[in-house]
Chain A
Amino acid sequence: MSHLSGKYAIVGVGETDYSRGSGRSTRALGVQALRKAMLDAGLDRHGIDGMLSYHGGDSTDSTAIASDLGIRLNFYMDCSGGGSSTEALIGIAIGVIEAGMCRTVAIFRAMNGFTGVRIGGTGVRAAASVGGGALFTRLYGQSSAAQTFAPSFMRHMYEYGTTSEQVAHVKVAHSKHAAANPKALMKTPVTIDDVLNSRWITKPLHLLDCCLETDNATAIIVTSMERARDLRHTPARILGVAGRVSKPRVDYHWVHGPITRVAGYYAKDIVFGMAGIGPEEVDITGSYDAFTFTTMLQLEEYGFCPKGEGGAYVSSGIIELGGKRPNNTSGGHLCEGYTHGMSMVIENVRQLRGQADDYCPGWAEGRHSYDYRPGGCRQVRNPTITMNLGWANPATGSALILTNT
C-alpha cells in the first residue's frame, strides 16, 4: 500500500441541474457548481487555493471561474480531456498538495453537452476538413465515439458470446436507480425489450445503449485528511487512484493487441495496489457508462468477474440496487445525465456519507430515514468502500477507490 493511501479526501461535491437547455454559459454553470461544492464542504473563498479542470474546447477556464467567486489561486491547470479525467485530476490534486504548491484543490467540469458542443461529432465538427489522422478514419464515415468504441463490443460478442440482451441489463439497472434520483434526466425505468427495440445508432448499439448528452457543471473538492477533519461531512478518504492508464496505442486503439482488452487491465494493479484491497472488498462501483457495454468491459477488466464473463455479470442482478455490488446508483451517464465522469464520483461520495436518500422525507433538513425497500431510496446499506472506473476510450482509463472508515 502506498504511503499516500488514505492521506487525502474528497470533502465537497456539487452540481448544477442536469438539463437539455441550460440557457446559461459554461462559465455561469461552472461557478454555480463550484459554489455548491464549497458550501457543501463548508469552505469560503479563502478555503480554496488550487483549481483543475478539463475540457474538449467546450468550457471555461479556471481563471474565470475562480475570479467570479473571489478566489485567489496558488495553483491552477486546465487540460484537455475526456471521461478518464475526473479520477486522474483527483490524483494530480493529491500530488500538488503533497508538493506544497497549494492546500485545497477544486476540480470542475462545465459543459453544455446538448445545446453547445456535442461530443457525438455532429454539425461543425463533422464537416471539418480531413487531414492528419482523420485521413484513415473519417473518410470511411467513422467519426463518433460510438463508432470507434463499438468494434471492441462487436469483437467481445464474437470471442465470448456476449449478447445485446446481456448488456441491456446495464441500462435497465441504471434506469431503476435513476427512478430514485430526483436529479436524473431520465427517471422512467425501461425494460430489456425497450432497449432492444430502440432504433440503431451504430449497430451493435441501440439508442438506449447510449448515454444522454447533457448541459451541466460539476465540482469536487480535494484536501488533506488533516484539513478534512475540520470540515462539514465525513471525508471520503482516497485509498487508491490511477490516472489515464493507457494501452500501448491510444490514437487508433483497434490497431493493437486484443481489442476486447481495455485500459482497466493495466489500471487495476495500480489502483488496487495503492489501496491494498481487491475487487471483492468493493461495495459499490461507478463505471463510465458512455454506453451499456463500456460498463460490462470495465467491470470484467478490473476483475469483478473473470475475463469474458462480463455479460453474465451485468445481467445477474449483482449491479442493481439490492444486489451484491450496485453500479451507478444515481443512474449514471445512461440515465442521470452525461457529465464526463464527474457525477459517478459525486454519487459515491454521497453514498459513503449516507446522503443518497434524497427522495426520502426530511432529507433536505438532514434527517435520514433510509427506505431500503425496493422502490425506496437509492442509499446502499452501510457501504464502506466504493470504486470509480473512468474511461476516455477503450485504450485509456482511470480509477479511484474511496472509503468512509
Chain B
Amino acid sequence: MTTQTEPARPAPVPDEVSAPYFEGARDGKLMLMRCLACGAWRFPARDRCDRCWSTETEWAQASGEGTLFSFVLMHQVYHPAFAREVPYNVAVVELAEGIRLTTNIVDCPNEAIHIGMPVQAVFEPVSDTVALPKFRPARG
C-alpha cells in the first residue's frame, strides 16, 4: 500500500516478453532470452532477434556470474520511495554470457564497489510472484 509517509517502491508489471525474467528470479534463477535460430542472448527481452530477425526464442538459465562494468552512486532523490536508500548504487554488470544489464550491487558497502569486481547474482523478492535479480561480490 502506498501511504504518504512510506511511498511504495515502483512495482514491476511484467509483460509477455519479460515475465519469465522476473518469475525466474522468484525461483532463484537468472533467466535470459536466447535466439533459437542464431543463439544470440537477447537483453532486454524483446520479441525479435536484432541480429537474425528470428522470433524463435527460448528462455535459458544464465550462470549468474559476471563482472562489474560500470556504476554510479545515487545521492539525489528522484523517486520518493528511494529517499531512505540514498546513497545507493546503480550498476552495469557484464555477464559471463557477454551481455550487460542494469542492477544493484548488494552485500557490499558503496565505498568498496569498483569496476572489474567479480559478482554473482542473488534474488530479492519484491512480491509473492516477482523477484529482482541483483548482484553481490563473488566469494572465493
Of B11, B44, B80, B116, which is within 8 A of A252 by CB?
B44
Chain A residues with Cβ below 8 Å from B50 are 249
Do A141 and B72 touch across chains, with their CB atoms under 8 A apart? no
Interface string of B79-103 (1 = CB under 8 A from A): 1101001011010100000011111
Q: Is residue B52 contacting chain A, with contact meaning CB distance below 8 A? A: no
Range class of the A interface residue count:
35 or more
In the complex the two chains form, what is the Cα distance from A121 to B11 in whole Å?
17
Chain B residues with Cβ below 8 Å from A139 are 9-10, 12, 126, 132
Residue of B nearest to A132 (CB): B15
Do A141 and B15 touch across chains, with their CB atoms under 8 A apart? no
Q: Is residue A259 contacting chain B, with contact meaning CB distance below 8 A? A: yes
Do B70 and A155 touch across chains, with their CB atoms under 8 A apart? yes
Q: Is residue A154 contacting chain B, with contact meaning CB distance below 8 A? A: yes
Chain B residues with Cβ below 8 Å from A79 are none
Range class of the B interface residue count:
35 or more
In the complex the two chains form, what is the Cα distance from A338 to B25 in whole Å?
41
Chain A residues with Cβ below 8 Å from B12 are 130-131, 135, 139
Do B75 and A203 touch across chains, with their CB atoms under 8 A apart? yes
Chain A binding surface, main DSSP class: mixed
Q: In chain B, residues 1-56, which have Cβ atoms closer than 8 Å to a Cβ of chain A?
A: 7, 9-15, 18, 22, 43-44, 50
In the complex the two chains form, what is the Cα distance from A129 to B11 in whole Å?
7
Closest 4 A/B residue pairs (Cβ) = A151-B70, A203-B73, A200-B75, A130-B10
Provide a sorted-by-A list of 26 A–B residue pairs whose CB atoms are within 8 angstroms. Answer: A131-B15, A135-B12, A135-B14, A138-B79, A139-B10, A139-B132, A140-B104, A140-B132, A140-B134, A141-B104, A142-B90, A143-B78, A143-B79, A146-B72, A150-B72, A151-B70, A151-B92, A152-B70, A158-B116, A200-B73, A202-B73, A203-B72, A204-B72, A249-B50, A252-B102, A259-B92
